[in-house]
Amino acid sequence: MSSDANETRIGDAVIIRDEDAANPIAVRFEHVRKTYKLFRNDKQRLVATFFPGIHCDTVNASDDLSFTVGRGESLALLGDNGAGKSTALKMITGVCFPTSGTVEVHGRVSALLELSAGFDMKLTGMENIDMRCQLWGLSKEESAVLIPEIVEFSELGRYIDQPMRTYSSGMRARLGFAFASSIRPDILVVDEALSVGDRKFAKKCRERVRGIMDKENVTVLFVTHSTNMAREFCEKGIVIQHGRSVFGGGITDAIEYYEKH
């Protein structure tokens, strides 16, 4: 583990993060479990905050999940709805945390997940871009180079200076994709985000991701229900069932296993 790594312990879970893009391991899960509590209603959930002994059902979205992604590899996570694929991606991005086990992430992560999330609807598109650049810790010089590229790719034209409350959901997603795919991450996490906008723009998004993978040695984790898309973008795959990895290997073999099971 790098001396600059940030190790956090939450209960029985260990989260290790750093921006060491030289580490040969990009992402590693070791015996990871993510348990969600299911309450009948919001009132029961509130009561349980003060009285932890309140009975509730539980579900393991990840259940003893283990896998490793090497630097520069592209891995597809295959599985039916509810298998735990998106939960794994959320733990990689830090949106949620494991209940137990170890999640290890080395490098700067950019996520093409909920593309329209996190925008301030009262601000303009340009103001939101500037705010995100600051949140990412980019210098003024870096932002000055990056912002025109984001604006051009989004194809929003004059709307970039309009409040985002006037945007359609597709316009917000296009701006989200333009930003997330422009900041040159070490690890790119993608969850069904390549169908943004119309057919022409969706093709442009796929070409952007392909360009990132080919030119910048980015590690890619990709969740999709399209086996054709998984085959197009990924060299390896794992099949997840009920929160566990039940198969791992080359993408052709992984797809064959997924389709038979």
Does residue 9 or residue 39 have the better pLDDT?
9
Please name every residue paired with 29 in a beta bridge, in sequence order, or none if there are none: 67, 103
- pLDDT tier at 68, thresholds 50, 70, 90: very high
Residue 232 has pLDDT above 80, yes or no: yes
Per the structure, how many domains does the chain have?
2
- pLDDT tier at 229, thresholds 50, 70, 90: confident
Residue 194 has pLDDT above 80, yes or no: no
CA 45 → CA 35, 248, 256, distances in Å?
15, 37, 42
Average pLDDT over residues 227-242: 90
- pLDDT tier at 207, thresholds 50, 70, 90: confident
Residue 55 Ramachandran class (φ > 0 left, ψ -120 to 50 alpha, else beta): beta
Domain residues for the domain of 28 are: 6-108+223-260
CA 119 → CA 26, 67, 104, 250, distances in Å?
28, 33, 28, 37
- pLDDT tier at 172, thresholds 50, 70, 90: confident
Q: Which residue type sits at 175?
A: L
Q: pLDDT (tens digit, 9 = 90+) per residue, 4-37? A: 568 899 989 999 999 898 899 999 999 999 998 8
pLDDT at 174: 86
| CA 147 to chain centroid | 22
Domain-embedded: residue 43: yes
Domain-embedded: residue 61: yes
Residue 177 has pLDDT above 90, yes or no: no
Question: Pairing relation of β-strands 109-112 and 187-191?
Answer: parallel
Contact 7, 15 (CB under 8 A): yes
Q: Are residues 124 and 102 in the same domain?
A: no
Mean pLDDT of the chain: 87
Residue 135 has pLDDT above 90, yes or no: no
Residue 206 has pLDDT above 60, yes or no: yes
pLDDT at 56: 79
Angle, helices 169-180/125-135, rounded to nearest 10 degrees: 30
Average pLDDT over residues 208-235: 83
Among the listed residues 43, 128, 22, 80, the one whose alpha carbon sits nearest the alpha carbon of residue 244: 80
Q: Are residues 77 and 27 in the same domain?
A: yes
Domain-embedded: residue 211: no
Domain-embedded: residue 28: yes
Domain-embedded: residue 212: no
Domain-embedded: residue 137: yes
